[in-house]
Amino acid sequence: MTRSARDTVHDSASAPVTLDAARLAAVISPLRRALLSATRASAELPELPEAQIDVLRTLPRGTAKGPAEIAAQLRLGRPTISNLLGAMESDGLVERGADPVDGRRVLVTASPRALDLFERFDSSSSRLVAEAVSRLGDAERSALSEALPALERLCAVLTGADDSASTPTSTETP
């Protein structure tokens, strides 16, 4: 894969595709902040730091993980996670306890309060996105729908969750 100054990306199997990477990056960050702000206001949610939200996303209902697992998943240092978990435990957002299999190991779970806040957040943000998308034209809604798999893969590549990140794939459907 090669890249020129204009962010033209191609591999040997396909024609070059021009993507304005700077424009995409410039849209994603404000979009995320706007959705977060609108969701907090709409659902009357407390101001949780994004790092704490990221930690809670690693702990869906019924999941318990060790601090090292959370740190690895978020690509953060163990001391950073330890500080986050301490603050979150004080705020009633996570609960820490001994691993029932290995009592020396600590497991972290999201508290019932955190799960409630997260469910309210997800419900409100989904509703807000649906309302906003309904104000777009058919072509824009279609473009967003078609872009979802590529955006999900981009997220996986950027977070290291995609094992095939170095191999370009097609998102075309038959």
The pLDDT of residue 163 is 62
Distance set, CA 126 to CA 38, 42, 117 (Å): 11, 11, 14
Q: Are 95 and 109 in contact (CB under 8 A)?
A: yes
Q: Please report whether residue 80 resides in a domain.
A: yes
Distance set, CA 114 to CA 29, 47, 59, 108, 170 (Å): 24, 13, 10, 12, 38
Q: Give the pLDDT of the chain (174 residues) as one tens digit per residue.
A: 444 444 555 555 667 778 899 999 999 999 999 999 999 999 999 988 889 989 999 999 999 999 999 999 999 999 999 999 999 999 999 999 999 999 899 999 999 999 999 899 999 999 999 999 999 999 999 999 999 999 999 988 988 777 654 444 444 333
Backbone angles phi, psi at 170, to 5 degrees: -95, 145
Tokens at residue 29, please? Answer: 């960050």
Q: Please report whether residue 15 resides in a domain.
A: no
CATH number of the domain that residue 103 is part of: 1.10.10.10
Does the model's pTM come out above 0.75? no
- Residue 96's closest CA among 65, 117, 136? 65
Q: Please report whether residue 12 resides in a domain.
A: no
Q: Please report whether residue 137 resides in a domain.
A: no
Q: Please report whether residue 109 resides in a domain.
A: yes
Which DSSP symbol is given to 92?
T
The pLDDT of residue 160 is 78
Q: Please report whether residue 7 resides in a domain.
A: no
Euclidean distance between CA atoms 34 and 135, whole angstroms = 16
Q: Are 108 and 86 in contact (CB under 8 A)?
A: no
- Residue 118's closest CA among 43, 30, 63, 51? 43
Task: State how many domains the chain has.
Answer: 1
> How many H helices and E strands in the chain?
6, 5
What domain range is 53 assigned to?
48-123
Q: Please report whether residue 59 resides in a domain.
A: yes
Q: Please report whether residue 69 resides in a domain.
A: yes
